[in-house]
Structures are given as structure tokens and as C-alpha cells.
Amino acid sequence: MSNNQALKQAYVATINQLSPRFTYAVTVTFKTRAFVKPKSYAKCTQNPNNVFVTAQKYQPERWKWGEKQVLGDWRYLNEEVAESTLDYFYARLAYFAYGKDTKRTTTKAYSQPVMLTSIEGLISDKRIHAHLAIGNLPQNIDIRNTIERAWWACDFAHHSIVIKPLSNTYGWLDYITKEANVGNVDALRIQSIKQPQIYLSDIGVENSL
């Protein structure tokens, strides 16, 4: 067995303790470039009748006041952008799924999805995309719609998204670690698994037994 294959198996074994939590397999594709508006833009447009007055509180240098035009920038996809896009996707997914429970002291410990990410295409000629294992979503929501809304809220979200209920969790985890076999051991973002605080507490208890 090669070192890469051994590492891949070690990754799968490590995350397999979370496998009962994963309920959906998701694949998302990134745009290669995107026109990015100021972060304050969405906040300002919550009051569409007073956008440009409200904007003075945020980034006035990003607005053409006379023409009432938003000044954005074309940005290009790279590894850092892909990672930050997935962070934003996770934040949107948590909010769409749980609302303000993600912030309340009494509920935030368990009101978060669990998400494992593998980013592929960074060292090949493939279009950059990510495979995700997602779980801990409320049963009383439209999960497919919630995941789609969260992804399409991202600047670099390509329209292509595949969402499937997980029937073979171990098989999916094995699949998304496949790039380890060709030397790309960093594709699986093992260091940045997203999960509720209560899961970390549970794992700590299990490891101490």
C-alpha cells in the first residue's frame, strides 16, 4: 500500500466517526470569475428606497453617488476564494436552516449543520468543484431548496449543483478522498470540518472512554 493510499484510509477512518451524522451528498461547481459588490451592498439594499443614504455609513468610496451606481470588482477564482466561498455557503446554510437559533446562547451549540469538504481541480485541468458531506439539518425544512439557496447566494456559485440523499455514507467519504491516490492529499479539508459544538463534546467523551 502506498503512503497516499494509507493516508486516504486514515482520513476516512478519522471522519468515519461523524458518518452517522451525514445525510446528504452535495457537489458544487465554482465560477472562474465573478463581479463582487461591496459587502455592505446586501445590507444597504434591505432598504431599497434609501440605498445610497444608508450606504454612507459603510463604504462610501465604493459608490458613485451622482449616478447611483455600485462599484464592484471582477475577481478570479483561486484556492483562497474557493475556501472563503464555502465558508460563506456554510454560514448561509446554517442561517437558512436554523435562523436565529444559530446565535442564541441556549440553542447555538446544536443549531449548526455538519459539513465535510473536498475541493478538487486546483492542481488539474478540471473545473474547480467541491464535494460535500452535509448533515444535522432540521427535518421540517425543504432541504434541497435550503442548500440551493445557500449556494446560489455565493458570488462564485456556478449554477451546477447536485444534491442527493446519502445511502452509502462510507462509499461517499471514500469517493471524496480519491485525489489522495494521485498525491493531492490536501483536497480533503480535514482541518476545517464544520460541526456543532455539541458534536465536539460528544467526540471528546467517546475518545476518553
- Residues 80-122 pLDDT 10s: 999 999 999 999 999 999 999 999 989 988 899 999 998 888 8
pLDDT tens digits, residue range 140-149?
Answer: 999 999 999 9
Q: Is 118 found in the same domain as 44? A: no
Q: Is 59 found in the same domain as 126? A: no
Tell the burial category of 62 from Cβ atoms under 10 Å away from its Cβ (0-12, 13-18, 19+). Answer: middle
Q: Is 55 found in the same domain as 115? A: no
Q: Is 85 found in the same domain as 141? A: yes
* pLDDT given for residue 197 in this prediction: 83
Q: Is 175 found in the same domain as 117? A: yes
* pLDDT given for residue 69 in this prediction: 63
List all residues 6 or more positions away from 3 whose beta carbon is below 8 Å from its beta carbon: none
Q: Is 149 found in the same domain as 107? A: yes
Q: Is 111 found in the same domain as 43? A: no
Q: Is 165 found in the same domain as 63? A: no
- C-alpha–C-alpha distance, residues 21 and 116, integer Å: 11
Instruction: Give the residue from 70, 94, 115 where a domain finishes.
Output: 70
Give Cα 199 distance to the centre of its chain. 18
Q: Is 193 found in the same domain as 142? A: yes
Q: Is 146 found in the same domain as 46? A: no
Q: Is 94 found in the same domain as 56? A: no
150 pLDDT higher than 60: yes
193 pLDDT higher than 90: no
Domain count for the chain, please give it: 2
61: domain range?
38-70
Q: Report how many helices (DSSP H) and strands (DSSP E) the chain contains, helices first.
A: 7, 8
Which three cell numbers, joined as nine digits, stand for 200?
465536539
Q: Is 173 found in the same domain as 85? A: yes
